[in-house]
Amino acid sequence: MERGGLFRLGLINSMKKLPFFLPFGGCRGRCVYCSQSTITGTANIPSPEYVSSVLRELDGPREICFFGGSFCRFGISKVKDYLDSVVDCAPEGSRIRFSTYPGDLSDASVRNLIKAYPIACIELGIPSLDPNVLSLCKREADPEAVIEDIKTIMDESLPLGVQMMIGLPGQTKESSIKDLKILAEIKGPISWDLRLYPCLVLEGTELENMMTKGTYKPLTLDQAIEWGGLFIDCALSFGFNPIRIGLQESELLASKVRGGPHHPALGEMIASESLVRKLTRTNWTGPWIVPEEHISKFTGHGCFGLMRLAELTGTTTTAVSEKLSFFPPAGKIL
């Protein structure tokens, strides 16, 4: 049964987030696509003492995030230092979010430590569960072991999310949706946060060499939008909560992209694609009634959403716009 509603990117988790980036922190290897210094804008890992000094200056609760590496591979002592910095120095009501490799929580002592803190979400890095894709990406992961690790973590009732990718070497739409279905079956009716990253070719990565040699062909922008829209549409129907699509745009990132679907509005266009798929699946010919918060998904970026709706229904933008109406969210005074 389809559980997902219309796509509201990141609206479910409203607490302000404060990210700390730990580039390659805890990573035992380097995936062919990864360049954390480019993604995060730094090559330095902040110390727990530095984190504490920043948190003391906050004026209200935040969701303190540790991204850019595999958090639980720092070792139990340093992980505890980072977690303690939040509990001791952040305003009351703050919570913790971090990304890590699923196997890092296979140790019961690590899980027991984590459970003692106010965890908002543990984001598990699962770019793919396809053995061939993982091998081509030089990703240290055994899909069967990853699945068992996730089940073990779930037994502790820890809040989970996933970070996934599309457009990886050897990956197909079908294999990525299969991965999503596997995770959906594991999580059951629980909602998991989801970050989706269409693969970019970044300067200095092995993937750049693969592209140069012709052994890897990155997605075009149109391919990424279509694939991403399908992926997000499926994710919503499986009960995932998409909170981000694509890397955070920056001048540094833009200067380091060598190939792939780089566009500052990629996430919004994929969200539009997902919404249009939802509408046409529900009612192929219209009319369609949509919350007004989604107007930009139809009118933004050269009326991308309107054009896709017209394309999928075999009509014109004028015709579909006449069948679209928007209503205010609940509680809004007209």
Task: Look at the alpha carbons of 30, 261, 177, 294 in this order and tell me if their dihedral is positive or negative.
Answer: positive
Residue with the two structure tokens 């219209």? 286
Please write the tens of the pLDDT for every residue from 242-268.
999 999 888 888 899 999 999 999 999
* pLDDT, position 229: 97
pTM above 0.85, yes or no: yes
Check if the beta carbon of residue 122 is closer than 8 Å to that of residue 114: yes
* pLDDT, position 4: 45
Tell me the DSSP string of 13-35.
--S-EEEEE-TTTT-SS--TT--
SS3 of 229, please?
helix
* pLDDT, position 15: 85
- The pLDDT averaged over each successive group of 10 residues in the chain (334 residues) is 45 76 76 80 85 97 93 92 98 96 92 96 96 94 93 94 98 98 96 97 95 98 98 96 92 92 95 94 91 91 93 94 84 38
Please write the tens of the pLDDT for every residue from 80-135.
999 999 999 999 999 999 999 999 999 999 999 999 999 999 999 999 999 999 99
- Sorted by where each starts, the structural domains of the chain and their CATH numbers stand as 17-260 (3.20.20.70)
Please give the Cα distance from 251 to 254 (Å, whole number).
5
* pLDDT, position 24: 64
Check if the beta carbon of residue 196 is closer than 8 Å to that of residue 166: yes
